[in-house]
Structure 1
Amino acid sequence: MQKPLNGIKIIEIGSTIAAASASKQFTDFGAEVIKIELLNGGEIRRTPPFFQDIPNLETGAFHIALDTGKKSIVIDHLSNSGKEIITRICNDAQLVIIDLPVTESKKILNLLNKESGPSTVAISPHGLEGPYSNRIENEMSIFAWTTRMERHGHDGSEPLRYGPHVATIQIGATAAAVGLSIVWGHEHDGIRRDVDLSSVEALAGNVDTGYVDWVLLGTQRKSGMGRNTDNYPIGNYKCKDGYVMFAATLGPQFARLCEAIGHPELINDSRFNDPIEKSKHFEDFMEYLDPWLSNRTKKEVFKEMQQYRVMVAPVVNMSEVTDDEQAIARNSFVEIEHSQIGKTIIHGPPFKIEDSWEALPPPDFGSSTIEILTKLKYSKEEQIALFKIGAIR
């Protein structure tokens, strides 16, 4: 079966995790993605962890996972010769995804033909215009600007961030979604579009935004300190071999949980069936729940609770999820052959379409430079000259 994005050409510029995660959604579904890499390899190749903890441009986990199936050309994007190459590469593309400092992005974007050139998605911390447009940020400071860090902090303690690069990949997912939309739009109406994607805006309006609460109620949603002891059980609870996550606070869910742990009498217990009284008796309830959990593994808790239709899930790590029977049945993790480390496992497709997805190995640094330049009609003599002056590697 033909992959859904066959025939589409995408150019990725910037060597960032956000740009790489965006363009991955195209290459794995059949698009040709040319990765224009920085001379030093950029963020995506220099971010740990690395295979055997040895720094290497080819063996970083984020590069292996997010650069699958792409072509790599290394260009000095600041040089005049480099800009000329970039212009020629982009001429017949449908989309350019760029994530560079704003002044550099603008110079590249100005090279592209505004009539017949590709559509563009420009990723930057605060957008291409405005008083903050030239500010340099990192993932943590971007997250702080969105209000999400403040709202994820516990009362009385410091604000909290997500795990490293989770927010950045979410920015990339936003870029991929809008990128595919404007490619589809161009196919249908012939109009090219330029998207100015602010990372702060992409995160602030996504998933757990508290703006609606603030606008309507004047309140700011915030995490509680540790376990929720007012309305329970919700959140993570320790069991025999780790943790499980419950969401069983309300009437039917709470009642079924009481039955599952062998204490149906708690359903009508005045300590737990009145919201105000329930908030006073968390420790009393844990005298029933804790012993039941401490004698069962995560999987045992999950299976027994599922029989009573209680909302619960095991908190698993990567070694557990790759061996999970559901993940195996759906081929949620796939094996690829890496040029230096051999066979390795990466995550599979984000959704299933029959025979439409394939994760090919990530490219070695600059492995397609000569191929691409030759296709652009650069002679061998010109390629040598470009290499000599440092415009390519």
Structure 2
Amino acid sequence: MSRPLDGVVVLDLTRFVAGPFCCLQLADLGADVIKVEIPKTGDEGRQIGPFHKGWSLYFTTHNRNKRGITLNLRDSKGKELFRELVARADVVVENYRPGVLDNLGFGFGTLTALKPGIILTSISGFGQTGPASKRAGFDQIAQSMSGIMDVTGFPDGPPVKVGTHVADYLTGVYAALATCAALTERARTGQGRHVDCALYDSMVSFLGLDLVGYAATGVARQRSGNSIGISVPVNLYRTKDGYVVVNAGVDAHWRQLAELIGRPELADDPRFRTRPDRVANADECDRVVEAWTATMTSAELCDVLEREGIAYGPFRTISEVATDENTLARRMLIEVENPSLGRIPALGSAIKIDGVPEPPPIDAPLLGQHNAEIYVEWLGHSRGELAQWQEAGIV
């Protein structure tokens, strides 16, 4: 069975998270992604933990299902080999600081001359243009500067970053989406595109209503802990043995919840009758709900809410998510075949398309694992040449 990007060749020049995660999405959709790393040392991600039997799970998470080669892009012979690769590629993905790829001699104009219709996807901290474009940018920097940390945490506490690499992962998804759109346009027009995605832009877009609301009204949303601020009761409530998110912000659901609590009169209480009323009296409403949830275990509360059709979600630890039946049924935690360790855990794909097979369970490549396959079998060079290049540090 075919996959949407079968036959598409992607040269992955990226490191760390956002770029590799973009290329992982393309690989999972069927693209032949060739990860290009520095000879001898490779991607810095190989040295970042946690480790499993000496192997970086950080590297596996972002680079499975790719082929891997080494190449020195600063060497004249290395540049020549890269030009050969570009001539056979459809997409180049890079996350150097803006200007670096041009300085290496491989700006978009050069790539287009080598391969008309090629797509260059650039991922950076602050974009290819704008006053901050030359700055280095990483996930937490983007979270801090974008305002995301201003709306994360509790009102009486300091700004807090989101618990995972949200800027990196979101930018990776945006970049993959834009790359697929550029491929679709190229199929229609033959024209390539330079895709420009930035961690900062991703996080500003993540503000969504909070940014637009301030621009229109001059009122900034304050940090609100685990509530969402615009709908009540929607919060993480304490139970006898843990926590459960209850979402009963819709008026009809609030009436149901008031009945469950055993206080149907609350549905018509002037403080709580409508959504705006409850938002204005959020603390009081939350106290009423938590006084009820605290009388049950999490399992008991979930059973009650399930029967009544009120949306809920029990708080779970990562260890619980790893063994959750839905995680496993949806293939979000899988095993892949590591070249030296055998089968090891890996992150599954969040993209499911009817009739499209799931990605093959192949781990991230060893450093230079596919050098012979690419340089000899694909580009047609001799094994003797490859050995010379390896000795010289070109590959």
Specify if TM > 0.5: yes
Once the two structures are superposed, the pairs formed by residues 293-312 of structure 1 within 5 Å of their partners are 293-297=294-298, 299-312=299-312
Q: Please tell me whether the aligned partners of residues 97 and 121 of structure 1 are also in contact (alpha carbons under 8 angstroms).
A: yes
**Number of residue pairs aligned between Structure 1 and Structure 2:** 386
Distance 1:108 1:60, change over 3 A: farther
Distance 1:272 1:116, change over 3 A: closer
Query: What is the TM-score of this pair, normalised by structure 1?
Result: 0.87
Secondary structure at 2:365's aligned position in 1? coil
Q: Distance in 1 between matches of 2:174 and 2:286?
A: 43
Q: Distance in 2 between matches of 1:260 and 1:83?
A: 69
Q: Please tell me whether the aligned partners of residues 9 and 90 of structure 2 are also in contact (alpha carbons under 8 angstroms).
A: yes
Secondary structure at 2:191's aligned position in 1? coil
Question: What is the match of residue 374 of structure 2?
Answer: 372
Distance 1:277 1:31, change over 3 A: closer
Once the two structures are superposed, the pairs formed by residues 1-393 of structure 1 within 5 Å of their partners are 1-39=1-39, 40-51=41-52, 56=54, 59-106=55-102, 107-110=104-107, 111-114=110-113, 116=116, 118-206=118-206, 208=208, 210-224=210-224, 232-269=232-269, 272-273=272-273, 282=283, 286=287, 289-290=290-291, 292-297=293-298, 299-353=299-353, 354-359=355-360, 360-374=362-376, 375-392=378-395
Distance 1:68 1:151, change over 3 A: same
- For residue 277 of structure 1, report the CA deviation from its aligned partner: 8.7
Distance 1:229 1:96, change over 3 A: closer
Amino acid at match of 1:85: L
Secondary structure at 1:36's aligned position in 2? strand
- For residue 363 of structure 1, report the CA deviation from its aligned partner: 1.2
Mind listing any 5+ residue stretches in structure 2 that lack a counterpart? none
- For residue 118 of structure 1, report the CA deviation from its aligned partner: 1.8
Q: How much is the aligned-residue C-alpha RMSD, in angstroms?
A: 2.9
- For residue 367 of structure 1, report the CA deviation from its aligned partner: 0.4
- For residue 207 of structure 1, report the CA deviation from its aligned partner: 5.6
Q: Deviations over 1:352-383 (max 9, x none)?
A: 22243214222112101122111222223322
Amino acid at match of 1:113: T
Q: Please tell me whether the aligned partners of residues 271 and 278 of structure 1 are also in contact (alpha carbons under 8 angstroms).
A: no
Distance 1:133 1:267, change over 3 A: closer
- For residue 72 of structure 1, report the CA deviation from its aligned partner: 0.5
- For residue 336 of structure 1, report the CA deviation from its aligned partner: 1.9
Distance 1:109 1:322, change over 3 A: same
Query: What is the TM-score of this pair, normalised by structure 2?
Result: 0.87
Mind listing any 5+ residue stretches in structure 1 that lack a counterpart? none
Q: Distance in 2 between matches of 1:206 and 1:269?
A: 35
Secondary structure at 2:36's aligned position in 1? strand
Q: Deviations over 1:9-36 (max 9, x none)?
A: 1111022311111011111122111001
> Which has the larger displacement, 271-280 or 59-68?
271-280
Distance 1:234 1:369, change over 3 A: same
Q: Please tell me whether the aligned partners of residues 73 and 369 of structure 1 are also in contact (alpha carbons under 8 angstroms).
A: yes
Secondary structure at 1:237's aligned position in 2? strand
Q: Deviations over 1:57-103 (max 9, x none)?
A: xx222321221210011122222222222221121111111111323
